[in-house]
Structure 1
Amino acid sequence: MASQDWVDKDFYKILGVAKDASDADIKKAYRKLARQHHPDTNAGNVASEKKFKDISEAYSVLSDPDERQQYDAIRAMGGGARFAPGGSGGAGGGAGFEDLFGGLFTG
């Protein structure tokens, strides 16, 4: 399940691993950071709680091969590939799919 914030969040950076990290490296980094920022060891620390949530989200995506592939594809497209519901000219002002690719195959 892709999320719009995948474009904005660098899960590899959050976990401190390279983009070509193995599953074992991702798991090891997650466990180390989760232990360090777990709410039970940082009671009342709001920043650490947020970090723990980010770490958990990053691991959730990167540990699932399908979601990791989707995440990598979305990140490769960059911030320019945002789609707004309602098509073009709507209140969102975003371009629809047809607007972006409509002229691609016309002469």
Structure 2
Amino acid sequence: MAQQKRDYYDVLGIAKTAAADDIKRAYRKLALQFHPDKNPGDKSAEEKFKEAAEAY
């Protein structure tokens, strides 16, 4: 199965010119929002969490 190439900046919702602090802040926001412990049993949230972690 072919994997799609994702733009990690889009995944994190930031500009390509974002500073390291902005990248970290965006990742932490998504990680808190979609963390599996906060969304037990929600496969969609788990996938978004993994995607954010990969992008970071």
Alignment of 1:1-107 (within 5 A): 8-59=5-56
Q: TM (normalized to structure 2)? A: 0.91
Structure 1 segments unaligned to the other structure (5+ residues): 60-107
Which structure has more RCO (C-alpha within 8 Å, separation ≥ 6)? 2
Structure possessing the higher radius of gyration over alpha carbons: 1
Q: What RMSD over aligned residues (CA atoms) do the two structures have, in Å?
A: 1.2
How many equivalent residue pairs? 54
Q: More helix by proportion, 1 or 2?
A: 2
Q: TM (normalized to structure 1)? A: 0.49
Moved over 2 A (4+): none
Structure 2 segments unaligned to the other structure (5+ residues): none
